[in-house]
């Protein structure tokens, strides 16, 4: 059933707005207290942020000056927007209870043809029997356990994929900080923050979460179920760096980094690519110097040298192709620094550019195949 | 259901005065009549009483609402050994189940059993002090009471094969006094200590 847009006061007939945070309402016309009896009502609570401006600055400074980020990121970044956002979570609490039939394991000694009823275990007749006839067995005795258990589940009430947030990160934080939950109205929350609406149907959460839990417990019955929405504060920072904009989200309950993306320090790629290219130059230079020591005539007439030349040529081509491709990929692949609760890490932001070394790869592949097959038959250069 | 039927006036079914209760409450109080009602249902009306503080000094810092469940617990088992054990147990007094919302609900059962084992300490009186918002629906209280008794029995002898039922005789909405001591709360009945988060207003 969809929520009514307006209700009427049963006492004076005046129009009353539907409740948002509490079932208790007051009629604007007759000022009498009213109670909303609809089943679709869910109380709302909020967790209190534990970070102030100084904490925000400290956290952002630490992120922007991270070694993986550009060296001038903290200096050149401009804060475009800083906005608290409340993410909704369902808090399902209640009681589940029942008498569970559980078995109690007990070690027993079995005699051939002995009665294994629990009353007979360990009796004198068994104790007096010869040792060789004893056989130890595990018996399961009937046993029950009375369980009146509280349960508490926290589930995201809104799809967090768009936020690039793993819900387990925040669910743990919600569970650990429930002590600071305070009753709120949406008006209070939205005064200085954005509020994300719950968009995951509660029925699905109850069915998948609590229902599944009850089923696994066998005879456990759901005695009570209370549902509340808990709003969790996160702080979203938007920065501009050159032509790029990026956002970082902080968990304001634990003061930790939650999600976001930062530019990658691309000079790392160049700094890695330069030694690769330098190494290539060194290897190839030495190969050519080696080759230059032998005269052209000797290369042609000596089969051993010819083979060596082909081998060296293959090695040189392979090293050159692989090295240049590695350098190319390092420099041209779009990389970003992903902010995660575990710490920043480098990730590929998009597909790598089209490989310009494809013809060289094909040639190298052909040559390697030829060299491998030549071991099984006469080499073409021997004929 | 029409939109109008979704709203009920929060007035006492006896005296017609406005009922008292906070924003998060589902249980509302009529102070002049000394009654509590769940929602706005006039059919679900219960006496409102307060537990007299027997420990702690001065005025309590808050009163937390509990359902005081009194009734008759009966059981049957063929096992003579169990019969002897159960008959030798100290009978429990009325069971007090918290009626307020609490994120750390595990403390419920501890207090319920502790209070039930010392029924002489639970003296009721009329009162007018403010109460925390009550939320718990009383519909499952008889089953909770049955299980609480069975759990008590199970501590002494396994309850396999024991048939038990609880017949609810009397249900009272009571305010239990709590005192704030050194950043924690201490109840005014047995002096049990609970963290401040026990009461989430």
Distance in angstroms (rounded) separating the CA atoms of residues B115 and B6: 38
In angstroms, the separation between the Cα of residue B43 and the nearest Cα of chain A is: 14
Q: Which residues of A touch B150 (CB under 8 A)?
A: 99, 146
Helix axes B141-154, B107-117, angle to 10 degrees: 70
pLDDT of residue B4: 46
Q: Which of A202, A314, A318, A332 is nearest to A270 (CA)?
A: A332
In a domain, B6, yes or no: no
- Smallest CA-to-CA distance from B151 within A98, A125, A235 is with A98
Total tally of structural domains belonging to chain B: 1
- A23 closest CB neighbour out of B26, B144, B197: B26
Segment holding A240, helix H or strand E: strand A221-241
- Look at residue B27 and tell me if it is in a domain: no
Half-sphere exposure of A88 (CA within 13 A, CB side): 24
Q: Which residues of chain A fall short of a pLDDT of 50?
A: 1-2, 118-131, 215-218, 383
* Inter-chain touch B103–A178, beta carbons under 8 Å: yes
Contact A317, A288 (CB under 8 A): no
CB interface of B with A, residues 110-129, below 8 Å = none
CB distance from B99 to chain A under 8 Å?
no
Domain extent, residue B60, equals: 49-198
A143: closest chain B residue by CA: B160
Is any Cβ of chain A less than 8 angstroms from the Cβ of B148?
A: yes
Q: B125: closest CA among B184, B61, B66, B175?
A: B175
- Please list, in sequence order, all residues whose beta carbon lies within 8 angstroms of the beta carbon of residue B24, skipping any fewer than 6 positions away: A22, A43, A183, B101, B133, B135
Asked if residue B134 is part of any domain, the answer here is yes
Specify the pLDDT at position B200.
Answer: 59
Question: Could you give the CA distance from residue A255 to residue B139 in angstroms, rounded to a whole number?
Answer: 42
> Is any Cβ of chain A less than 8 angstroms from the Cβ of B200?
yes
Query: Taking CA A311 as the corner, what is the angle to CA A307 and CA A317, rounded to the nearest 5 degrees?
Result: 145
Q: Does B158 touch chain A (CB under 8 A)?
A: yes
Q: Chain A residue closest to B103 (CA)?
A: A178
Q: Per residue in A186-215, pLDDT tens?
A: 788 888 899 998 888 888 888 777 765 554
Spell out the per-residue pLDDT of chain B, length 201, in tens. Answer: 444 478 889 999 889 899 998 877 889 999 999 999 998 677 789 999 999 998 877 889 999 999 999 999 999 999 999 999 999 999 999 999 989 876 555 555 678 999 999 999 999 999 999 999 898 889 889 999 999 999 999 989 999 889 999 999 999 999 999 998 888 889 999 988 887 767 754
A249 touches chain B (CB under 8 A): no
Would B23 be classed as within a structural domain?
no
What's the predicted TM-score (pTM) here? Answer: 0.67
pLDDT at A114: 54
Running DSSP on this structure, what letter comes out for residue A39?
T
Residues within 8 A of B (CB atoms), A 54-73 only: none
The ipTM, to two decimals, is 0.81
Is A7 near chain B, with CB under 8 Å? yes
Phi, psi of A95 (to 5 degrees): -125, 140
Closest CB from A99, A148, A183 relative to B23: A183
- Select the residue from B1, B2, B4, B7 to test the A interface by mutation, using most A Cβ atoms within 10 A: B7
């Amino acid at each position: 059933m969809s929520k009514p847009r307006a209700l009427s006061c049963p006492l004076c007939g005046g129009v009353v707005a539907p409740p948002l945070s509490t079932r208790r309402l007051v009629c604007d016309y007759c000022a009498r207290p009213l109670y909303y009896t609809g089943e679709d009502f869910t109380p709302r609570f909020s967790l209190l942020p534990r970070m102030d401006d100084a904490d925000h600055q400290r956290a952002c400074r630490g992120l922007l000056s991270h070694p993986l980020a550009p060296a001038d990121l903290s200096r050149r970044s401009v804060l475009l927007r800083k906005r608290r956002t409340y993410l909704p979570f369902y808090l399902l609490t209640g009681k589940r209870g029942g008498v569970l039939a559980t078995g109690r394991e007990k070690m027993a000694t079995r005699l051939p043809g002995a009665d294994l009823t629990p009353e007979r275990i360990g009796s004198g007749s068994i104790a007096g029997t010869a040792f060789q006839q004893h056989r130890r067995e595990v018996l399961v005795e009937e046993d029950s356990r009375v369980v009146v258990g509280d349960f508490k589940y926290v589930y995201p009430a809104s799809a967090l994929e768009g936020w690039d947030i793993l819900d387990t990160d925040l669910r743990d934080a919600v569970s650990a900080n429930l002590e600071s939950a305070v009753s709120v109205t949406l008006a209070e929350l939205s005064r200085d923050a954005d509020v994300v609406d719950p968009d995951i149907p509660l029925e699905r959460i109850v069915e998948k979460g609590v229902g599944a839990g009850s089923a696994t417990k066998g005879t456990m019955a759901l005695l009570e179920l209370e549902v509340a929405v808990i709003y969790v504060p996160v702080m979203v920072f938007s920065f501009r760096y050159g032509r790029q904009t990026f956002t970082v989200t902080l968990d304001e309950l634990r003061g930790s980094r939650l999600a976001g993306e930062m530019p990658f320090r691309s000079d790392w790629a160049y700094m890695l690519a330069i030694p690769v290219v330098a190494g290539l130059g060194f290897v190839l230079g030495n190969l050519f110097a080696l080759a230059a020591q032998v005269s052209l005539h000797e290369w042609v007439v000596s089969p051993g040298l010819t083979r060596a030349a082909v081998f060296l040529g293959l090695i040189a081509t392979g090293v050159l192709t692989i090295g240049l491709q590695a350098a190319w990929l390092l420099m041209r692949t779009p990389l970003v620094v992903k902010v995660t609760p575990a710490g920043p890490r480098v990730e590929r932001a998009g597909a790598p550019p089209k490989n310009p070394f494809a013809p060289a790869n094909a040639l190298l592949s052909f040559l390697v195949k030829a060299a491998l097959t030549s071991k099984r038959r006469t080499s073409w250069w021997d004929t | 259901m029409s939109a109008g039927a979704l709203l009920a006036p929060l007035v006492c079914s006896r005296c017609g005065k406005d009922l008292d209760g906070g924003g998060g409450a589902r249980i509302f109080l009529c102070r002049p009549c000394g009654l509590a009602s769940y929602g706005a249902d006039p059919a679900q009306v219960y006496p409102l009483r307060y537990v007299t503080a027997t420990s702690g000094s001065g005025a309590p810092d808050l009163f937390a609402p509990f359902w005081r469940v009194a009734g008759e617990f009966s059981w049957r088992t063929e096992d003579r050994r169990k019969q002897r054990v159960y008959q030798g147990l100290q009978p429990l007094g009325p069971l007090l189940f918290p009626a307020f919302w609490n994120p750390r609900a595990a403390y419920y059962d501890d207090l319920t059993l502790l209070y039930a084992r010392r029924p002489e300490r639970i003296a009721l009186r009329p009162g007018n002090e403010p109460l925390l918002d009550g939320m718990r629906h009383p519909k499952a209280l008889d089953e909770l009471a049955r299980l609480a008794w069975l759990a008590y029995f199970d501590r002494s002898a396994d309850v396999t094969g024991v048939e038990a039922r609880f017949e609810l005789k009397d249900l009272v909405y009571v305010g239990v006094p709590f005192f704030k001591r050194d950043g924690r709360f201490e109840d005014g009945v047995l002096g049990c200590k609970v963290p401040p988060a026990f009461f989430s207003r």
